[in-house]
Structure 1
Amino acid sequence: MKVAFHGAARAVTGSKHLITLNNGTQILLDCGLFQGMGDITERLNESFGFDPRKVTYLILSHAHIDHCGLLPRLVAEGFSGSIFCTPATRDLAEILLLDSAKIQMQDAEYANRKMKTVEDQEMPLYTDKDVQQTLRQFKTVPYEQNFQIEEHISVRFTDAGHIVGSAAVHLQLEENGKQTRITFSGDVGRYRDLLLKSPQTFPQADYIIMESTYGDSLHIDLDPIETMLGKIITQTCLEKKGKVVIPAFSVGRTQELLYALNALELKGVLPNIPYYVDSPLSLEATEVLKNHPDVYNNGVKEVLKVDRDIFGFKGLRFIESVDESKALNNDPQPCVIISSSGMAEGGRVRHHIRNNISDPKNTILMVGYASPGSLAGRLIAGQKRVWLFGQDYDVLAEVQSIKSMSAHGDYEDLLQFLSIQNPKKVKRVFLVHGEYDVQQKFAQRIVNAGFEKVSIPEYHQEFEL
C-alpha cells in the first residue's frame, strides 16, 4: 500500500492525497483547487500528477474549494467512480462548484476576447456541465457510520468542526489479512468555535494525514469577537465616518460574522448603519447552514430559543446584482461591506478594496487565513502599496485583523485533536496543508507530544505504508 501527496504538500491549498492498494485500487482523498500561489497556480491546476481514469473512489472531507474545486476536472478527464461525503458537504459542494465553473467560464471568455486565432483560445478548467456530471457521482454518508465501500474498504466520518458538513476521514483497509487504519484530518476546526460543535474524537489510527495550517499560531484575542467587531465599526463608521470592508469566505466566515453582529443587536449595541453582504454565494451558503442545525454548538442552540434568525438583524442587506455592488462604491455613507473572497484574490471584494484602500477614514478588516502571497496576506504584513486592476494604490486605510476568527484550529487545537491517540501506536504522521516553515515547527510539537515519526511530504512524493 502506498500514499502519494499531489497537493497541499508544503503548501496550504490543492488538497489531493492518493492511496494505492496492492491490487491497484486507488482512493483519492479530496481533489482541491490550488489558490493564491502566484504565477504557478494555473499550471498546478492543469496537471494532477496521476491518471484520473485509474482512481477508483474519491472521499471528500469538506466543500471548501481548495478541497473539492478540481472534482469536475477530474471527472472530465475520466474519473467515473463514486464521491463519498457527508450530506451537508454535498449541499455546499453543489453551490460552490457551480459558482467556480461560472468563474472559470467567464475568465476564459474574457481572455479569449483578446486572442486573434482559434489555436490560442483558452479553455476553462471545467464547465457547468462537468459540475452536473460530478454531482451525479456523489454518495452521502452520515457522521459516525461505518460504511463499507467494498469488502475490504470501509470509511467513517467524524465531525471536524471546521465548516458545516466538514469531516475527518477514517479508513480501514484490509490487504493480505492485515488491517491498516488511516485517518485524514481534513481541516480541523476550533474547540471554542462561535457556531459549530468541537471536533469529535476518533478511533486509533496507524497513519494520520494531518493538516497544519496554523501549526505555529495561537488564535488569541483579548476581547470576544463581537466586542472587537463593535469597537472597529464604532471607530470607523461612527467616529471617522468611514467604511469597514471585510474580505470573508462565503462559507463559514461570513456566517460567523453575521452571527456576531446579530449578537451585538441582541445586546442593543449594534451601530445603526447599513450592513451589506456583497456575495450571492454567501446567501446560498447561509441557507445551507440553516438547513443543517445539527452542526450548531450548545451556545447557538440557546440563542435559537430567543432568536429564530441568528444570521439576520436590522440594517442587513444581501447584494446580488453587479449593478448593486457597483453602487456601493459611489455611496459615501458609512457602512460595513462583507464580500468574498477571504484572501481578496478574486471576486467583488477586490473592487471594494480598490475603492476604499487609499482613504484613511476606512478600515480593511481581515478575519481568516490568508496565504502570504495573497492580497489579504500582503495587507496583513503591512505592505504600503498594492497592485490592483493594473494600477498601484497607496494603503492609507487602517488594516486590522481578528485572529480568533478562523475556521482552522491553532496549534493547541491541532494537538488536542491528536491527543486522544496513543502516539506509540501511530506509525507515522504526515503533515499537509501548511507552509513549510510552519510545518517544521508543528512537527517538533508533535514529536514532543510522543509521536515518533513525522514526515512533511514534498509535492508528488510517495510513501510505502
Structure 2
Amino acid sequence: MKLTIWGAAEQVTGSMHLLEVENYKILIDCGLNYEGGVELAANENFPFNPFDIDLVVLTHAHIDHSGNLPTLVKAGFEGQILCTYPTADLTQLLLSDSVNIFLRKQDKKRGRGKFRKHQFINNQPLYLQRHVNDTADRIVPLAFHKEFKINKNITLTLIPTGHLLGAAAAHFTIKDEEEIKTIAFTGDIGRKNYPVLNDPEYLPGTQYLVCESTYGGRLHSNSDNIHDVLVKVIKEACINQAGRLIIPAFSVGRTQSLVFSLNKIFSNGDLPPIPVFVDSPMATLATDIYRKHHQQVNDEARSFYQKNGDEFEFENLSYVKELRESKEISDHFEPCIIISSAGMLEGGRIQDHLFHNIQNFYATIFFIGFCAKGTLGHRLLRGDSVVNIKGRELSVFASIKKTDLLSGHGDHQDIINYIEQIPAGSLKSVFLVHGEPESMAAIKADLSQKNYSVVIPKKGLVFEL
C-alpha cells in the first residue's frame, strides 16, 4: 500500500492524496490550489495521468477539496466519484459558481490592451459548465456509516466530521498481501456545538491517519457563546446607534449557521425585529440544499423546526435574488443587517455594500470567519485606515469587529482530541496536511510529546505503508 500527498502539502489549499493498493489507484479529494503566487492554470498540471486513476473519494464540497475535479475529468479521468448525498449537491453548486468566477475574470481581461484576441486565447477558463456536468455524472452518493465495498480488497466507510453539511472522513479497510490495514483521511474537522451541524464523530481503529491541521497552534474563544456575541453586536450596531450591520459570510455553510442563530434570537424575542437581508444568490441555493437534506442537520435544528417551522426563515428575513434588489438595499436607511458574500471580501456583492458603507460612521463590518493574508478582509482586520474598493481609495470610518465563534474548523485542541480518541494502540502514523507550516509544527510538537509518530509530508514523497 502506497500513500502520496500531491496537494495541501505544507499549505492549506489544493487537497489531493493518492492511495495505491496493488494496481488500484484512489484519489482522495481533488481541490483547487489557489495558494498565494500560484497561477490558476497550474491546476491543469497533474503529477500523474488522470486516466490511470480508478476512483475518487471526496470528503466535502469546499473548493479547496473539490474544485479541480472538472479539470481531472476533462483530462481523462473516467471513474466514479464517491461522497455523501449533501456533498454531491453542494459540490455541483460550488463548481458551477467556479465556472462563473472564471468567466467573469476572463471578461475583465478580454477588453484590456491592444491585442485582445491574443489575451482571450491565453486566459481560457480552467473548465466550463459542460465539464462540471460531466463531473456530476460521475458522482455516486453514499450514506454515512455504511460500508461500501470498492473491490474485493478495499472497503470504504464515510464518518461525519461536522465542518459542512455532508462533510466526512474517508476510512478505508484494506487487505494488502493477506494483511488487513486501515487508513483514514479527515478532510476538514468541524467543532462541537456548531449551529445546524452535528458534532464530528470519532474514527474507529485506524493505523494511518492523514489529518488536517488548519488551526494548529490556535485556540477558539470559549468565554462567550454565539447567541450572546450576536445580541451584543446587533444592539451596538443597530439599536444603540440606529446603524447598519454588514456581515461578510461564505454562502455555503457559514450563512446557514448564521441565519439559524439569528432566527433563534428574533424568535425568542431577545431583540426587536430588525430587517435582515441575505444578499447572495448562491446562499439562497445552498439553503435549499440544506432544506433538502434536513435529516442531516443536528438535533437542535430539527427540534427548532418542529416547534417554530423552517429554521432558515423568519418574519424580518429577506433573501435577495436580483441585482436590482441588492442595489436597493443601499437606499434602506432604517437599521438593518446585511449578510453577503464573499467572506474575505474578494469579489461578490459584499464589495458593493462595503463601497457604500466603509465611510459611514454608523456602519459596522462584522467578520465571522478567517481572512487570508492579502485579502481586503485581512487588511480591514489588521486596521488599515485606507483601503481600495472597486478601484477607489476609501477611508475606513465604519467600525470593524470580529468573532471566531462561527469558524467551521476545529481548533488545535479539537484536532488533538480527535486524534487521541482513535482506539489506543491502533495508530501507527499521523500525516499532517492542509495547514500552514507553523500550524503543522504546533500539532506535531504536541503529538510528539505524547509519543505519536508524526510526519509532515513533502509534496510528492511516496510512503510505503
TM over 0.5: yes
Partner of 1:372: 373
Partner of 1:209: 210
Larger mean CA deviation between 398-407 and 80-89 belongs to 398-407
How many residue pairs were aligned?
Answer: 462
Partner of 1:30: 29
Shift of 1:228: 1.2
Aligned partners of 2:271 and 2:160: how far apart in 1? 33
After superposition, residues 67-216 of structure 1 pair within 5 angstroms as 67-114=65-112, 116-121=115-120, 122-216=123-217
Larger mean CA deviation between 300-309 and 202-211 belongs to 300-309
Partner of 2:328: 327
Partner of 1:316: 317
Aligned partners of 2:398 and 2:43: how far apart in 1? 34
Larger mean CA deviation between 109-118 and 190-199 belongs to 109-118
Query: In the alignment, is residue 285 of structure 1 matched against residue 283 of structure 2?
Result: no
Structure 1 pair 314/129, CA: closer, same or farther in 2 (3 Å)?
same
Larger mean CA deviation between 65-74 and 287-296 belongs to 287-296
Kindly report structure 1 stretches of 4+ aligned residues shifted beyond 4 Å: none
Shift of 1:149: 1.1
Aligned partners of 1:3 and 1:418: how far apart in 2? 19
After superposition, residues 205-244 of structure 1 pair within 5 angstroms as 205-244=206-245
Partner of 1:360: 361
Partner of 1:56: 54
Partner of 1:5: 5
Aligned partners of 2:395 and 2:11: how far apart in 1? 29
Q: Does the CA-based 8 Å contact 2:416-2:443 persist in structure 1? A: no
Shift of 1:41: 4.7
Q: Does the CA-based 8 Å contact 1:277-1:339 persist in structure 2? A: yes
Q: C-alpha deviations, 1:26-56, integer Å up to 9, x for none?
A: 2111111234x33425254343333322221
The one-letter code sitting in structure 2 at the alignment partner of 1:91 is D
Structure 1 pair 391/461, CA: closer, same or farther in 2 (3 Å)?
farther
Coordinate RMSD, CA, aligned: 1.9
Q: Does the CA-based 8 Å contact 2:249-2:343 persist in structure 1? A: yes
Query: In the alignment, is residue 299 of structure 1 matched against residue 297 of structure 2?
Result: no
Aligned partners of 1:102 and 1:330: how far apart in 2? 28
Aligned partners of 1:409 and 1:425: how far apart in 2? 23
Q: Does the CA-based 8 Å contact 1:170-1:184 persist in structure 2? A: yes
Shift of 1:379: 2.6
Q: Does the CA-based 8 Å contact 1:234-1:271 persist in structure 2? A: no
When the two structures are superposed, what TM-score results if normalisation uses the length of structure 2?
A: 0.94
Aligned partners of 1:381 and 1:173: how far apart in 2? 48
- Percent identity between matched residues is 36
The one-letter code sitting in structure 1 at the alignment partner of 2:211 is M
Shift of 1:423: 5.5
When the two structures are superposed, what TM-score results if normalisation uses the length of structure 1?
A: 0.94
SS of the residue 2:158 aligns to: strand
Structure 1 pair 221/398, CA: closer, same or farther in 2 (3 Å)?
farther
Aligned partners of 2:106 and 2:425: how far apart in 1? 51
Q: Does the CA-based 8 Å contact 2:204-2:423 persist in structure 1? A: no
Shift of 1:278: 0.8
Q: Does the CA-based 8 Å contact 1:250-1:282 persist in structure 2? A: yes
The one-letter code sitting in structure 2 at the alignment partner of 1:60 is L
Shift of 1:67: 1.1
Aligned partners of 2:391 and 2:284: how far apart in 1? 30
For residue 45 of structure 1, the aligned residue among 43, 51, 65 is 43
Q: Does the CA-based 8 Å contact 2:387-2:394 persist in structure 1? A: yes
Aligned partners of 1:309 and 1:42: how far apart in 2? 39
Partner of 2:454: 454
Shift of 1:424: 4.0
The one-letter code sitting in structure 2 at the alignment partner of 1:454 is V
Shift of 1:328: 2.3
SS of the residue 2:162 aligns to: coil
SS of the residue 2:344 aligns to: coil
Larger mean CA deviation between 314-323 and 383-392 belongs to 383-392
SS of the residue 1:114 aligns to: coil
Q: Which 5+ residue runs of structure 2 have no aligned equivalent? A: none
